Amino acid sequence: MNLIEDKHVRSSNLRILPGKETAYELFWSPDSSTIGYLSDGQLHSISVQGTNHNVLAAAPDPAGAAWRGGVSDGEIFFASARSLRVLDLATRKVRELALKLPESERALQPVFLPEGDGFVYLGGPLNAPQLFQSSLRASGAGRFLLDTHWRIEFARHPRTGQWHIFYLGSLYPSTPLQFDNAATMSRSFLVTQIA
């Protein structure tokens, strides 16, 4: 994406938010008040009103990001320089996760699980990534979940409360996936493939 453009669904007006012209890998704060993005080897944020542009952290060779919690006290989880990192927005400190990958592989497109400290990410060789699960406390390699080349998203059904995973890919699991949210807790998710 060359510019950050903002268009309200019920409006024909298009706004270009100030900031970098080379913004990519955009993601929202959970309250939808702020947009995070990667640009020129750095992690940025800007409010949807076009104010409060911040350079948050160095992010060389970036490969996706996700946000959880508040704009000033949440966390941004991002892939950078073949590793996964977490930025604490309250302290502005970045820590690298102890996820171990073979030299020929890299972690891409991290996404927080809806609850707990778990997350999923794409891993493996760039020409054949797979979806893995891990947690912010874990060390070692993540647990394989499914074959897909694309980032996944979570959404809760508004009436049933059931969590769904939306992804692109050719493999459709025949049973719900089990994610370990914490050492003693497991949750089932319905998988929805987008063809």
Q: What is the 3-state secondary structure (H, E, C) of 43-59?
A: EEEEECCCCCCEEEEEC
Residue length of the chain: 195
Three-state secondary structure string covering 30-43: CCCCEEEEEECCEE
**What is the reported pTM?**
0.76
What CATH number belongs to 5-153?
2.130.10.10
Q: Which residue has the higher pLDDT, 128 or 58?
A: 58
The chain-wide mean pLDDT, for the chain, equals 76
Task: List the domain boundaries for the chain.
Answer: 5-153
CA-CA distance, 128 to 188, in Å (whole number)?
A: 26
81: left (phi over 0), alpha (psi -120 to 50) or beta: left
CA-CA distance, 94 to 117, in Å (whole number)?
A: 16
- How many CB atoms are closer than 10 A to CB 171? 12
CA-CA distance, 186 to 150, in Å (whole number)?
A: 24
pLDDT digits (tens, 9 = 90+) for 118-161: 888 888 777 778 888 888 888 777 888 877 777 777 777 788 77
